Copies of this chain bind each other. A is one copy, B any other.
């Protein structure tokens, strides 16, 4: 099968845009990605648009604004993995030889819901019982602290790191640094999470141009190869007897590493799904960056900071960059591609050669409703 490369990325700064339509959020990201790739709209052969809550025909609405029509447009929903799943479809189409040049869009407008936690599906019994996303993650955090002796400060340190990274990212929703004391003293949301340990709600859009390896060099001298493109479904945790293993990510990571032919030690930069502070710690372990229960020590060592062994969420992650659900996966790719190109200035991970993105969501509690999409990239 042929290889696929990313030759263009673009996004709008994540934030709150209550007066913009979904289409008006999306089209500037698309135009930026096309310009970055040096590709004309007429060269795009198909588009995949990820949105979780954007309503019908998001991709067509975005592309209609710039007159890009007539091509196959497919809208993808996989909760927080929506636009990373869209990327997987684009990669599949390129690898299969169906298309040479495919556009991926991620777009979401959460301000239309008026703020607060995500509108979830009432038919899920967990949701009816109050297991909104902060509550769900909080239970796992409590269990992690119980099992491994992590402290409230250990969790809060994730926010300190990621908010510090976000200071240097002009596309981040939150661009101010916060101290450990500020994180711990902010308003309690769901114990142990204070407000600054929960990703902000907001709007955003990101876009990616994917093409066949064979034609990539015609457009850019620095294409970024997609060396793993994984999607899986399953559980966020094995059950109440083990609430701290994100099973779906553990399995997805193994699949992605195998496909790419790399291991945890090869990853230089990773954008992973830090919707709440605990998540980043759980995912250090799920991705094999350290053993079970060792995540807080890994963070404290500086290994996951910019300049450390593997920079986690140099963009600021969901905690600082923001988390407009359907746009998140694509925005992670924007960051990793810019890191691998060496375009990230003060937040640049030195000499980053291999990068990873990880978007997971949807699943509640022990039910099998989760999605997890992992990509690995190399320059």
* A132 CB-CB contact with B under 8 Å: no
Contact A368 B67 (CB under 8 A): yes
Q: Determine the distance from Cα of A54 to Cα of B376 in the docked complex, in whole angstroms.
A: 31
Q: Determine the distance from Cα of A104 to Cα of B234 in the docked complex, in whole angstroms.
A: 18
Contact A233 B96 (CB under 8 A): no
Contact A69 B121 (CB under 8 A): no
* A72 CB-CB contact with B under 8 Å: yes
Q: Determine the distance from Cα of A61 to Cα of B72 in the docked complex, in whole angstroms.
A: 27
* A371 CB-CB contact with B under 8 Å: yes
Q: Determine the distance from Cα of A5 to Cα of B217 in the docked complex, in whole angstroms.
A: 37
Set B57, B88, B97, B235: member contacting A78, Cβ < 8 A:
B57
**Given contacts A57-B121, A89-B74, A368 and B63 within 8 Å (CB-CB):** yes
* A interface residue count range (under 10 / 10 to 19 / 20 to 34 / 35 or more): 35 or more
Give A residues with C-beta under 8 Å from B. 1, 21-23, 52-53, 55-58, 60-61, 63-64, 67, 69-79, 85, 88-89, 92-93, 95-98, 120-121, 123-124, 231-235, 251, 362-363, 367-371
Q: List 5 A-B contacts (CB under 8 A).
A: A1-B97, A53-B56, A60-B369, A92-B93, A92-B96
Q: Known contacts A22-B121, A60-B370, A89-B89; can you find 13 more A-B pairs with CB under 8 A?
A: A1-B96, A21-B123, A57-B77, A57-B79, A57-B362, A64-B368, A69-B235, A70-B232, A73-B78, A74-B85, A74-B231, A92-B92, A92-B96
